[in-house]
Structure 1
Amino acid sequence: MISIKKFIVKGEFITLAQFLKEEAIISSGGQAKWYLQDNPVNLNGQLENRRGKKLHPGDTLKVEGEEYRFVTE
């Protein structure tokens, strides 16, 4: 069973690149484009590869074998 990690969104949204950087999946925002070309990321059950995609509270993201649910504080 996959445990779902909660990620607190400070503000209205966070971009996919910002999220990947905050979770230390990539070390800089500039790496997001290349990372997303080579690694599948599922947002709400759909493949997502836009680094500027806005992630909102209520969204679910699967990346690197982990599942995240975005919540407010």
Structure 2
Amino acid sequence: MPGRVRENGPMTTSQHPGPADDLPIRDGMIRLGQALKLANLAEDGAQARALVEDGQVRVNGEVETRRGRQLHPGDVVAAGGAAVRITAAD
């Protein structure tokens, strides 16, 4: 996208995922690392950690480097060209 720049250079298409799928959670919050695994954005905890540490994960459009960040319904997590919206389970 012309004119938009992030800290590590121009934004790429993979950083602008399409519509977010819903990721329902039972409790009022979930940790980022857990959400990445539950949403299949990471295969396991090691991959989730690597994605976060490498700055490849965005929460609500901002790069997030804390794997333990608490996510709540309404938060949107994006990684690898895909995105999920945290929702409350019915």
**Shift >2 Å, 4+ stretches:** 23-35
SS of the residue 1:7 aligns to: strand
Scaled by the length of structure 1, the TM-score of the pair is 0.80
Which 5+ residue runs of structure 2 have no aligned equivalent?
1-16
Report the aligned-residue RMSD. 1.9
Scaled by the length of structure 2, the TM-score of the pair is 0.67
For residue 47 of structure 1, the aligned residue among 49, 54, 63 is 63
Q: State the percentage of identical aligned residues.
A: 32
Q: Which has the larger Rg?
A: 2
Q: Could you list the per-position Cα deviations for residues 10-57 of structure 1 after superposition, in whole angstroms to 9, with x for gaps in the alignment?
A: 101110111122233334334433231225111111110111001100
Tell me the number of residue pairs that the alignment of Structure 1 and Structure 2 aligns.
Answer: 73
Query: Greater RCO between the two (CA within 8 Å, min separation 6)?
Result: 1
